[in-house]
Every structure is written in structure tokens, then in C-alpha cells.
Structure 1
Amino acid sequence: MADSTADENNKEMQDSDDEEKADVDMECEKDSESNDSDSENEESERQVAELQKQISKNPYLYDVHIDLIKLLKQLGELDQLRDARQRMSELFPLAEGLWLEWLKDEISLAGDDQKERKKVEELFERAVKDYLSVKIWLEYVQFSIGGMASQDGVIKIREVFEKALSSAGLHVAQGSSLWEAYRKFENAILMGIMPAPGQVATKQQEDDFDVQHKRIMSLFKRQLSVPLNDMEESFTEYKEWLQDEIDSQIKQQFHKALEYYKRIEPYEKDLVGGMVKLWNTIRK
């Protein structure tokens, strides 16, 4: 009986020792991880300082600006990151990817703060002047739609869409996505005007519906007169949406634009292919 009790006591002592050892090992591991993290932070800060030093000596080192921006983003140094992007944008026209990354970061930080959203809007205006990009315009209109509830929100959104079409609506390869986004926005408004199932439309609703219907029809007409990728699909979509015979003048404009598109399509493909080859060469 005494031997059994002694064995149990020894086992409890051993278990206690094992637990203490495990706790010590865990603390040591945490200290090691903390030291590693501190070392990594110190190394990153040293790299930031070195990159900033290089830029101060020669501001026109494009790749150094890129490396600094990437590093600051990894570190989460938002103020320094914003300053680095600003400095680079004053010296170089920024590529599409750089603008989109910057804009998306600022959008997430702005939230619903109207003052901050105004700053983002100003940044978008800089971006679209700096670089012809359908993707940037799409991001801009999406951002604008986020402010639809504000005063004159719909008017402002339409203004951005119209600027987008003026700038990039003729882009053969990607312009159709802007037209489509614009029509989806207007269609959403149209759906909101319609009365709920089982209810009779008021005179005001009928008038508003007619105005909005004509607005969407006008967008279709404008788009179908422009030579763009997927324009035949857009024509089919218009026919289904209209649920009526398409006007002969619209057909004539469409076929004229389609004929022109088919003439330039081979050159557009060569252009895109050439750009891809150039990009792949640069990346090597």
C-alpha cells in the first residue's frame, strides 16, 4: 500500500515537472519569436532608411520607389506609404496597377467619412488623367455609386460615368465594360421605379419610368454606334431588352460600326499580342 502511494506521489511530481518544463519551453519559444520579430523589424527599418537615402540622392530611381512602396505596405506604415506614393507620383506617371493599389487602400481608409471620400475622389481625378485605364474608371464609378445616398448622388454618378465614356468609352478592347456598367446602374434605378407586385403604378411612377426607359435606350443607341469588342452581344441584349422591332436607323449605325470593327479587329489583336510579348520580355 505504501509502495503504491509512493508511486502515485512520484508520478504527480513527474507530471508537475513536465508541466513546468513545458511552460518554460513555451516562454523561451515566445521570447525567441519576439526576438526574431524585433530583428526583422529592425532589418526592415534599416532597409526603409537605405531606400529613402537612395531616393534622396537620386529621386529618379524608379525601381527604388517601387521597392520602398512595397516594403512600407508590408510594414503597414500607412503615413509613410502615402508619402512615398505621393513623391513617386510627382516624378513619374504611375502604371495602372500602382494607381489601383493606392486607390483601393485609400478607399478602405476613407470609409463613409465625406471629407476623406472627397480626397479619394480627387485622387481618382489624378489617376484618370495620368493613365488611360478602363479598370481605373470602373473603380471610380464603383466608388461613386457608394455615395449614391448623398445629396445629388445620382447626378454625380452619372457625371462620372459620362466622363468615363468620354475618356475610355471608345477603347475597342475594354470600352464595352464601361457601357455595360452604366446600363446596369440605370437599369437598377428603373427597377426601383416600378411598383411592387400587385400594386398599380401612379402617374408619377409612369412618368418616371418613361424617362428612365428612354435614358437606357439612349445608352444602348450610343454604344451600338461605336466599334467595340462584343458589340454583337450588345445588339442581342438590346433586342431582348427592347422587346420590340429595332429602329432601322439604329440597325444601320450598328452595322456600319460592326463593319469598321471587323476591319480593325486583326490590328487590335496584334496590338494586344505585342503588348503581352513586350510585358513578358520586361519581366524576364
Structure 2
Amino acid sequence: MPDTTDMPDTNNMDTDNLSSSDMSPPENNVEVVLETPMQLEVTVEQPALPPPAPQEESETEQAQKTLNTLELIPEIADQLNQDNSQYDLHVQLISLLQQADLADQLEMARENMHDIYPLTENMWLDWINDARKEAQTEQGEERLRQIYGEAEKDYFSIAIWKSYIDFILEKFHSQIGTDGKEQPSMDDVAELIDSTREDLLRAVRACNYHVLQSHEIWNPYIDFELEILERYPSPDGFAKVKQLFLERLDALHIACEETFNKYSTFISTYDNANYENSLVEANKIYAKTKEAAEARDYYEQQLVCEPNPFRFPKISSWTHPRSHRIRFAERNWIFPRCILSIY
């Protein structure tokens, strides 16, 4: 047993005599420092307020605006009396007269400008729309037809021809009679159908060679013929409409697929027993037209998108379904389109 008499008595050890180094922690110990909790700032975005609604003009402001317009009209008219070749003044005068709602003076201003310059498409449409308001009378209709004729002479416009088509069909439906209204006699109906058909065909012939947009004129026309067939069905009427579809499928137009689908619906409605044979016959025509239309579409897009007319692809290279060259009449019709695309 070891002798413990020489061992120090730790219980009686004087701790006051211990140095601070004896009490310090080991060098490898990690000192832990507790930080105060992080303060998170949360920003709540306020929903964006809608922009303030535009304030309507007060009666005073409107009156002042009208007064300013009326003061400008005689000033511009005097300038035109001195020199009526100033295009911008004609346009400005017409615009001011429209704002002032001076119909008689507006009519005269339009006529004066048209004596010197061709009007723009929008100016023609404005004039036409004003004239259509008075077209319920015989004199008003005659004047409207004169304006359409003058617009046609200025240059070609699908939009103006569409307006003409709308006018003709609106007149037809107002006179043909509907349920609840007095029906015209059959003689009157036949005369109305013939005159309407001739008016519509005038537009169809004018737009026939517009490969990209002619369907906008032809479709309302064929819908008219389908309506007549539905109202007064007959074998001759069916044969007539079928021939119109086949002739249209043979004409080069970008929307030929739409025409073929309309023809399919027509046959299934009126001659479903011979549907397959009729579609096979039509498809032989449609396939050639579709192939040519796909090739032609590139050039049509160039005509629409190319800002420089001198960079148009050579027109002689544009294909046609039969001869792979454009017909002479179609070529003559394309040149004005190229020129008009500049303006």
C-alpha cells in the first residue's frame, strides 16, 4: 500500500495562491460568442394604383375647341383660293370640316380636292360612309354609286370594294323580305336577284386577279348564290353554283384551301350521294392551284412587306398553275399593285 503521508492535501489547498494562468482554459478551446437575434426588415409592397382616368373635356373646353376649328376653316379656305395645289391644306380643310360637322362644305371640299388629286383610301372610305347614311333615298343611292365609281377610277382598293359589297348585300336583304315582313312578288324577287348578282359580279371581276385577297370579295358573292339556292332550290341553281365553285378552284388564289372546304360542305349538303365522285373531280383542279398558290405566296408576301419596290422579285418568274407563267392580264394587274405598295 503506497504511503500517502507525503501527498498534498487538496482539500486544504489555498486556492488564493493559484495564478490566473493556472485557471485559464486550454488554448484549443473554442470561444462561443452569442449574438443578439438578427432583426429582419419586411417590406410590404403596396399594390400599384391604376392611372387616373382621363378627364373628359368640359363644355367650355369643347366649345373653345369648336370655336378654334371654325376660325381656322375660312383661313385655310382663303389660302386654297389663292393656290389650290397645296395638298396638305386640302387634307387639313377636310379634317376640320369633319370635326365641325359641316356636311355641305365637306362635300364641296372633297370634290375640290378630287378635281386635282386622288384621295387616299381612308378619305374615300370616310366619304363613302357619309354618303351611305343618305342612301335610303333613290337620289342618295345614286350619289353613293357615283362616289364608288370615282373611287374605283383613282386606284384599286380591296377595302373599298368590300364596302361596295356590303352596301349591295345590305340593300338586297332589306328588300328581299324576311319572316314577319311583306314578301315581294316573284317577278320583283327575280329582278332583285338579277340586279344584285350583276352588282356583285362587278366587284368579283375587278378583284379576280388579286391572288392574296380576292377571296374577301368572292366569298360574300358565293354566299349570296348559296342563299338564293337555299331560298329557291332547283337543279339549275345547284348546277350553277357547282360550276362557280369549280371555276373558282381553277383560279389562282392563296385561300384556295378555304374554297375547297366550302365546296365540300356544299356537295355534302346538296348532293351527298355523289360526294366522293364530286370531290375527286374537284381535287384534280384544286391540287394544281394549291401547288401554284404555295409557290406564289412567297412573292405575295414580298409584295406586301418589301418597302422598296425596286427590290421586288422579277414578276416574270411568278408561277401560274397552267403555264407556269403569269397570264398577260394578271401581269398587267400586278404592276399597279407594286406601285401602290409604295404609298
**Bucket of the pairwise TM-score, normalised by the shorter protein:** 0.7 to 0.9
Aligned positions of 1:38-53 closer than 5 A: 39-53=64-78
Shift of 1:126: 1.5
**In 1: Cα distance, 2:197 partner to 2:292 partner:** 29
Distance 2:266 2:159 in 1: 26
Q: In the alignment, which residue of structure 1 is the partner of 2:8? A: none
Q: Distance in 1 between matches of 2:239 and 2:161?
A: 25
Instruction: For structure 1, list consecutive stretches of 5 or more residues without a partner in the other structure.
Output: 1-31, 194-207
Decide whether aligned partners of structure 1 residues 275 and 192 sit closer, same or farther in structure 2, where only a CA change above 3 A counts: farther
Q: 1:60-75 maps to which residues of 2 (within 5 A)?
A: 60-75=85-100
CA contact (8 A) 1:141 1:157 kept: no
Which residue identity does 2:292 align to in structure 1? Y
- Among residues 119, 138, 162, which one is paired with 2:162 in the alignment? 138
1:172 to 206, 211, 222: 211
Residue 54 (structure 2) aligns with: none
The Cα of 1:113 is off from its aligned counterpart by 0.7
- Distance across 1 between alignment mates of 2:258 and 2:169: 26
Match of 1:28 in 2: none
CA contact (8 A) 1:69 1:85 kept: yes
One-letter amino acid matched to 2:302: D
| Aligned 8 A contact 1:138 1:178 in 2 | yes
1:1-284 to structure 2, matched below 5 A, reads 33=59, 39-110=64-135, 112-148=136-172, 149=175, 152-193=191-232, 208-243=233-268, 244=275, 245-246=277-278, 250-274=282-306
List structure 1 segments (4+ residues) > 6 angstroms apart after TM superposition.
none
Whether contact under 8 Å (2:264, 2:279) holds in the other structure is no
Which residues of structure 2 form unaligned runs of 5+?
Answer: 1-57, 177-187, 269-274, 310-341
What displacement does 1:233 show? 2.1
Which structure's CA Rg is the greater one? 2
Deviates more, 1:177-186 or 1:236-245: 236-245
Shift, 1:267, TM fit:
1.0
Separation in 2 of the partners of 1:189 and 1:220?
15
CA–CA distance in 2 between the matches of 1:218 and 1:162? 15
| Aligned twin of 1:8 | none
The answer to which of 265-274 and 40-49 deviates more is 40-49
Instruction: Give CA-to-partner distance per residue, 1:107-164, whole Å, 9 cap, x none.
Output: 0123x21121111112111212222112211211221223322853222221122111
| Separation in structure 2 between the aligned mates of residue 131 and residue 177 of structure 1, nearest angstrom | 18
SS at match of 2:306: helix
Q: 1:87 to 1:180 in 2, by over 3 A?
A: same
**Paired letter, 1:62:** Y
SS at match of 2:132: helix
Q: Which has the higher contact order (CA 8 A, sep 6+)?
A: 1
TM score, norm. by length of structure 1: 0.74
Contact 1:225 1:257 in 2 (8 A): yes
Distance 1:172 1:230 in 2: 8
How far apart are the structure 2 equivalents of 1:163 and 1:171? Answer: 14
Query: Aligned to 1:172, what secondary structure does the other structure show?
Result: coil
Q: Distance in 2 between matches of 1:272 and 1:69?
A: 29
How far apart, in 1, do the equivalents of 2:165 and 2:62 lie?
A: 41
Partners of 1:131 and 1:228 in 2: CA distance: 21
TM-score by length of 2: 0.62
Q: Is the 8 A contact 2:165 2:217 kept in 1?
A: no
Distance 1:166 1:39, change over 3 A: same
Report the Cα offset of residue 90 of structure 1. 1.5
How many residue pairs were aligned?
A: 233
Distance 1:100 1:275 in 2: 24
